[in-house]
Structure 1
């Protein structure tokens, strides 16, 4: 009986054990199912939050020009320029030593933290990994609890599945809190140390490691001593672990902690506003600007504006000749100066250019072939209808070389040449080259535009002068580096020979006292009523334009281009840190000769009014070919062209023939000749007689 009872008791225990195991398995299954359902209910990790960053604008070399706070006022700057390895190593050693080996959760760190809490009664070290801290930043917790910690662990594992270690570390370095509205190590380094986090001292690195643990109670601008103590604890632990020497730690402890935040970088505010407006959805914008040059020229503008007076503003624009890239863009001396209307970009303001358009008048005159830099021209009182131009100093120089007339910026010779070139043609050519000229309402181009009777921006004026440096071709200026821009087609300004001649003349202009002669081709200008002072110049590498005046257009007594703007221009070239580069060599076909060796018609220019004949002389006229005609000059079965006959009537012998502004010899006594076409396309044929009279036709060779 006792045996049977023992067997029955054993059978009962086994049944109860099986029931308990089954109950436990069911409970575990239900728990796992519930846990799985909870994990699924969490949804995907909100990584999109990590991509919400401040907009930053960089220069051509990746240096930070300006950062913009996020819509809610936070500064969260993407880590694009790298972080000091000392800081990264210190961070991982202090926060997450096995960062590169764990899967988001470090069981050893969690066990150590739990044991320290149990044995000491308070938290000695945290068990959260960098990935778990990133999870908390992506989804801030409302309270501290076991469930919240569990959620971080789940999220950390999920993050590790989606991102690699470098991406996780970059996101943490971008989002870590550093007190107030500062997020990310880059924003903290700029605000607290005034520099990028690429190079940090040991003390700075330790401080940046300590702040995110309790960012609000260790804010440097409120609790600097608490921040210092936290920094020193980081250093002490690194010494104990043998990662930092006692000597280095002592030196780091001796450094003071900053007590005030520094302003965020704000270089090229006008340019950065414009590029952000053009690319509102782009968070990292790279420009063509050079941060070092921009900083130097902003300082130059501030210093010179202070010397000019409290109401005077300055604009400076620097352009690379070859590419058209804007290297520096100074819209005003002080962006926040209300009295100077500092937020008005004076590089894009439409103003009267004074005499700065004169080089283009001379360039078209050289192109047309009726004048040469060494031709003589009269600077005497002259009247064009009701218009009688006068020089700035109210005197006249008499007969001077054309070269000298441009270098001295004489008004009468410029207007006489413009009368021959044609104001409408000058206006059309400048617009064709990309300059948006603004005429008074209901006005057409007239002779007054040669002395400033038209509106233009510094931006367009620099583009035109860069076209002279490019031997007659302009290119659209750009400030945003964007490979999708493609090739910007050059626009024609004038012939190569004419553009070179203009540059060759301007480089001989007497420089201001702070300049060296023969280094920079430049021109100055002063608008009517002393409202605008200009100076634009170029060498073989870059073109710089300077405007000085009041933004409201009020006169500034004594404001003259030569004394107010030209010295700034030469200082700007000096602050580029490079010696002026040589101008291009003369292109093929340029006529270089003294006055006595020029063809007779080119030795002296006479205004149109001097070409009136007396007696039976006929006015010079090209009878064939007709202006605007199309001529089939291709030789049969050959790539060459047959000579083009030219027949002339009237004029005083000898007659000189010019093709596209280049002399090709004299016309015989029968007043006819044969001309070799330079190629297919439009060809300008000009004939000049001994008195300087000229006639021109444009034909198309095909």
Structure 2
């Protein structure tokens, strides 16, 4: 009895001391407990996602990959796998498993170390949300208190849902939704039982038991999970055996990017970090919707890459990347596995994939890719590959495959509708940017051939000489200062002596052809350099500079000499496109933007773009619309557009042998553009001295786009080519000296053929305040005739000619006497 009494007293004392100890510890750690509001408002660190305007994912940014899911979206077998493995009494306990805790404390007192956790799902959630992973007894006590705290304020299903979204699975995947994507590239409802078991086994040691880094340990862990599910009667013996035998097939999968637009995505990333800081931008689940159309963005990417390959092919083949064995010796080809290992060191770039040539005949080759796939490379896909000599010269066209490469060569190929085609990573660079002219929204932006090779975004960062792309702005100034589309300007060589330098400045046309007196419309359409110089002389450099600033160009960056008329000013493609938008929208300067709206993790819109709109009556009709400033008159914009329309469609009469083409005549061949836009297309080519920069800017009523092609190295010229005797004119339609019309315009056409399907291509309506009169094409004077020697021309009231062509007086020709200018 005495012993029992002593034992009872001891138990009571131990209970009281234990209660006091627990209470004291609770009070000690009370300040570190999360509040009720914090428990109910646990923020899931979710990466920023970037979308096209029509909802296709462009990119995902953030260290943590997470795809939040509701408990209803989680398949029951996956829930069963977690509960059976991690906490089979989850729905019965109060947040702490006494047996597990007792086991952990026993190990702590007997060894001095915590060897097993015994943590419940609630405790694991507490640790992941509020604590660290350090193995200390203080952290364990805090974990228990927070778990009890969570159980008091959340339902069991809420706790389980948070756990499934918060737990770490390795490879930066947090939550089961992200784990399914990262390891298998699937949604949760697409997972097999074996895959679910693999995911459920990862929380124990995500870095050392995942199937990518340690497949054997992952297999063993999966077997444990499946065994627990079988023991808990969650799966049948047959399901257990099938899942147990399933192979370990997995790799790291990226985000569900459905449209690659890396240059645009980087623009968004930089802007979001600037606005919100890195932590908020990357981890708060923001969704950014851009102004870009998925269809137009894809078309721009394809146009840039295909055009650069076209340029590269006509300039010749620079040779194989490596020779793994020599087929003309006794050297043996390596074993297949060794070949695949060697190929793995060569990366796919852009449209190109590396491959090794296994064998050749005179007219084809068998090739092997790094993934083990074999393919057939036909002669038609490599007949272009005459040797590259330099930018100006190409070697003789090959006669057989062995003239290009032999077995053992590492080459690059790209996929085309006709099959595999020999390729190489293009040396030049290119950019293409498209804007909605009514509000400046960027519809597409591509800053180079491959973002993986160069992150420099040439569409918005590369300041290059504009060449003849600047001429529409010069002509706009001329029309504002007394010139008309029918004004005659002398298209003749200029020789200007410069006493200071002791040399003469002799600007030349390209090609070096002169036609004498020429109308302003025709001069812009044919891109007559000397006419542009004479127009600038007539107005004065400062007048032209001031006019160019109306289009958004920086006053301080514009040259103060006559070279400005030929495009010596440096501009980015985006700046040029913005300037052309002024012509396309009737004279308004819009501000380019690329973020349409931002949505937070709760699907609430926290930002909506309010661009300034090019519209005369918008403000009166809708006070929420911000009007863009009108920088030139609607009439001026229309007249310049008319001249650029002639750059596409030319003029004169081919039947009477007076027909002529403008520099953008290749657009006439595009059936896709003509079917949608008809003749309602305008644009201008651009080429700089020594062909270092080539441009084309053009538009339909609903879209303006600018393309640029050149080398990043400012010293390199784009050169010239001769026709390849292996190819017909359809296979190689371009030869001679590179130029805006040959090098940049095809890229613009390729893009616009797709883009025009989604935008308006309305007629260029004559604005109020203009008059039309029939003029004589030769003199620019009024005409009483009604034949091919005349046309109707548009004029601002008061500027139309007053004399008729049949009078005896000579027409006025500006620049007829260079001394005047």
TM-score by length of 1: 0.67
Secondary structure, counterpart of 2:535 in structure 1 = helix
Contact 2:490–2:813 (Cα < 8 Å) also in 1: no
Secondary structure, counterpart of 1:529 in structure 2 = helix
Q: Distance in 1 between matches of 2:289 and 2:681?
A: 27
Q: Distance in 2 between matches of 1:395 and 1:50?
A: 70
Structure 2 residue aligned with 1:330: 446
Contact 2:433–2:459 (Cα < 8 Å) also in 1: no
Seen in structure 2, the aligned counterparts of structure 1 residues 692 and 156 have a Cα distance that, compared at 3 Å, is farther
Q: Does 1:542 align with 2:700?
A: no
CA apart distance, 1:161? 6.7
Seen in structure 2, the aligned counterparts of structure 1 residues 158 and 30 have a Cα distance that, compared at 3 Å, is closer
Secondary structure, counterpart of 2:209 in structure 1 = coil
Structure 1 residue aligned with 2:746: 567
Contact 2:711–2:718 (Cα < 8 Å) also in 1: yes
Q: Does 1:662 align with 2:797?
A: yes
Q: Does 1:415 align with 2:533?
A: yes
Q: Distance in 2 between matches of 1:253 and 1:504?
A: 73
2:308 to 298, 305, 309: 305
Contact 1:466–1:543 (Cα < 8 Å) also in 2: yes
Structure 2 residue aligned with 1:286: 288
Q: Distance in 2 between matches of 1:466 and 1:174?
A: 47
2:206 to 204, 215, 218: 215
Q: Does 1:511 align with 2:666?
A: yes
CA apart distance, 1:534? 0.7
Q: Does 1:551 align with 2:712?
A: yes
Bigger shift: residues 15-24 or 197-206? 15-24
Contact 1:433–1:492 (Cα < 8 Å) also in 2: no
CA apart distance, 1:409? 1.9
Contact 1:367–1:495 (Cα < 8 Å) also in 2: no
Structure 1 residue aligned with 2:724: none
1:107 to 68, 79, 93: 93
CA apart distance, 1:528? 1.0
| Alignment of structure 1 residues 314-353 onto 2, 5 Å | 314-337=430-453, 342-343=455-456, 345-353=458-466
Seen in structure 2, the aligned counterparts of structure 1 residues 32 and 112 have a Cα distance that, compared at 3 Å, is closer
Q: Does 1:595 align with 2:583?
A: no
Structure 1 residue aligned with 2:592: 477
Q: Distance in 2 between matches of 1:17 and 1:191?
A: 58
Q: Does 1:65 align with 2:58?
A: yes
Cα deviations across residues 305-353 of structure 1 (Å, max 9, x unaligned)? 344344311112122222212233222212342xxx5535353221110
Secondary structure, counterpart of 1:359 in structure 2 = helix
Seen in structure 2, the aligned counterparts of structure 1 residues 93 and 589 have a Cα distance that, compared at 3 Å, is same
Cα deviations across residues 345-397 of structure 1 (Å, max 9, x unaligned)? 3532211101111122333334456313xx26345315485455432110124
Q: Does 1:529 align with 2:708?
A: no
Structure 1 residue aligned with 2:271: 275
1:452 to 547, 567, 575: 567
Seen in structure 2, the aligned counterparts of structure 1 residues 437 and 219 have a Cα distance that, compared at 3 Å, is farther
Q: Does 1:502 align with 2:614?
A: no
Seen in structure 2, the aligned counterparts of structure 1 residues 409 and 66 have a Cα distance that, compared at 3 Å, is same
Q: Distance in 2 between matches of 1:353 and 1:393?
A: 18
CA apart distance, 1:202? 4.2
Q: Distance in 2 between matches of 1:236 and 1:19?
A: 46
Q: Distance in 1 between matches of 2:156 and 2:487?
A: 76
Q: Which runs of 5+ in 2 are unaligned?
A: 105-116, 313-425, 498-504, 598-606, 613-626, 649-664, 721-737, 784-794, 803-808, 815-821
Structure 2 residue aligned with 1:77: 65
Q: Distance in 1 between matches of 2:311 and 2:800?
A: 54
Seen in structure 2, the aligned counterparts of structure 1 residues 111 and 174 have a Cα distance that, compared at 3 Å, is closer
Query: Which structure has the bigger radius of gyration?
Result: 1
Secondary structure, counterpart of 1:356 in structure 2 = helix
Q: Distance in 1 between matches of 2:53 and 2:552?
A: 24
CA apart distance, 1:553? 1.0
Secondary structure, counterpart of 1:260 in structure 2 = coil
Q: Distance in 2 between matches of 1:526 and 1:577?
A: 25
Secondary structure, counterpart of 1:414 in structure 2 = helix
Seen in structure 2, the aligned counterparts of structure 1 residues 229 and 404 have a Cα distance that, compared at 3 Å, is farther
Q: Distance in 2 between matches of 1:169 and 1:399?
A: 84
1:356 to 453, 469, 488: 469
Structure 2 residue aligned with 1:700: none
CA apart distance, 1:183? 3.5
Seen in structure 2, the aligned counterparts of structure 1 residues 26 and 149 have a Cα distance that, compared at 3 Å, is closer
Structure 1 residue aligned with 2:123: 132
Q: Distance in 1 between matches of 2:158 and 2:440?
A: 37
Seen in structure 2, the aligned counterparts of structure 1 residues 78 and 577 have a Cα distance that, compared at 3 Å, is farther
CA apart distance, 1:31? 4.1
Q: Distance in 1 between matches of 2:230 and 2:751?
A: 51
1:260 to 251, 259, 270: 251
Cα deviations across residues 84-126 of structure 1 (Å, max 9, x unaligned)? 96546554444359x9xx9x975189779879x99xxxxxxx9
Q: Distance in 2 between matches of 1:252 and 1:19?
A: 56
CA apart distance, 1:201? 4.1
Structure 2 residue aligned with 1:674: none
Seen in structure 2, the aligned counterparts of structure 1 residues 536 and 208 have a Cα distance that, compared at 3 Å, is farther
Structure 2 residue aligned with 1:490: 628
Structure 2 residue aligned with 1:392: 510
CA apart distance, 1:36? 2.7
Contact 1:370–1:692 (Cα < 8 Å) also in 2: no
Q: Distance in 1 between matches of 2:72 and 2:768?
A: 60
Cα deviations across residues 226-269 of structure 1 (Å, max 9, x unaligned)? 54666687689889999899999999889765443245667424
Structure 2 residue aligned with 1:95: 82
Secondary structure, counterpart of 1:286 in structure 2 = strand
Q: Distance in 2 between matches of 1:159 and 1:496?
A: 67
CA apart distance, 1:191? 3.7
Q: Distance in 1 between matches of 2:9 and 2:237?
A: 63
CA apart distance, 1:530? 0.7
Contact 2:440–2:611 (Cα < 8 Å) also in 1: no
Secondary structure, counterpart of 1:355 in structure 2 = helix
Bigger shift: residues 324-333 or 44-53? 44-53
Seen in structure 2, the aligned counterparts of structure 1 residues 210 and 589 have a Cα distance that, compared at 3 Å, is same
CA apart distance, 1:565? 0.8
Secondary structure, counterpart of 1:578 in structure 2 = helix
CA apart distance, 1:544? 1.7
Q: Distance in 2 between matches of 1:541 and 1:157?
A: 62
Q: Distance in 2 between matches of 1:471 and 1:247?
A: 73
Cα deviations across residues 163-207 of structure 1 (Å, max 9, x unaligned)? 899986776455422224444456545543457x58744465564
Contact 2:459–2:574 (Cα < 8 Å) also in 1: no
Structure 1 residue aligned with 2:168: 177
Cα deviations across residues 464-517 of structure 1 (Å, max 9, x unaligned)? 112222111121112334637655462333211221233344345123455645
- Greater relative CO (CA pairs within 8 A, separation 6+): 2
What root-mean-square deviation, in Å, do the aligned CA atoms of Structure 1 and Structure 2 show?
A: 5.0
Q: Distance in 1 between matches of 2:167 and 2:8?
A: 52
Q: Which runs of 5+ in 1 are unaligned?
A: 1-8, 70-74, 119-125, 605-657, 668-688, 695-702
Secondary structure, counterpart of 2:637 in structure 1 = helix
Contact 1:220–1:257 (Cα < 8 Å) also in 2: yes
Aligned residue pairs total: 581
CA apart distance, 1:523? 1.6
